[in-house]
Amino acid sequence: MEKQILDILKTNGRIKEEDLAVMLNTSAEEVKNIIHDLEKRGVILGYDTLIDWEKTDYDKVIAYIEVKVTPQRGQGFDKVAERIYKYPQVTACTLMSGRYDLFVVVEGKNMKEVALFVAEKLAPIESVLSTATHFVLKKYKDNGVIFNKVMKDEREAVVL
C-alpha cells in the first residue's frame, strides 16, 4: 500500500487522507499512519508546488548546467556536490553517468545572473574542470505535468 500512496502523492500532493483511503479501500487513519511513517523514515522529504512561471509577472530563468569535476580522494563526488548544492540558486544537483559528472539546475532572475553564478561561483571551484550551460527556453512537461496543454476544439463548423 506504501507504493500506491507514494504514486498518488507524486501526482497530487494535496490529496486528502480521506480521499486516499477511499481510493485504496482502507481507513483514513491507516493512510495517515503510513504517510507519517514515510515522512519519519525520510522517504517523503517534502511536498512541492509546480508553477508555470510563464503565466506570472515574475522574471525567472532556469539553466541546466553539466559540470565535469575531479573526484576528491576518499570522498568521490560528494564533497564537491555538497559545495555546489548549498548555493541558494541551485535547485537540484545530481551525479550522472556520461560525459559530465554532475547535473545542476540553477534559477536566476535573468541569463546574466545565471552566467555570473557560473563564472564567479561554480567555475572557480578547484575540482571543477568544465561546465556546459543550457538555458530553458520553454517547458512542455515537468514532473509528469504538461504545460500549456492545447485544448482541441471539438465543435463542428457550421456552414450557412
Q: What is the pLDDT of residues 116-152, one digit of tens each?
A: 999 999 999 999 999 999 999 999 998 888 888 765 6
- Give the DSSP H/E element, type plus range, for residue 9: helix 2-11
What's the mean per-residue pLDDT of the chain? 91
On whether the 53-138 domain is CATH 3.30.70.920, my answer is yes
- The domain spans of the chain are 2-40, 53-138
Cross-strand bridge partners of residue 29: none
Residue 143 confidence (pLDDT): 83
Q: Give the C-alpha distances (Å, rounded to integers) separating 143 from 46, 49, 50, 155.
A: 15, 10, 8, 31
What is the Cα–Cα distance from 115 to 23, expressed in whole angstroms? 47
Residue 155 confidence (pLDDT): 64
Residue 108 confidence (pLDDT): 96
Residue 125 confidence (pLDDT): 95
pLDDT band per the 50, 70, 90 thresholds, residue 153: low
The answer to whether the beta carbons of residues 118 and 100 sit under 8 Å apart is no
What is the Cα–Cα distance from 154 to 69, expressed in whole angstroms? 53
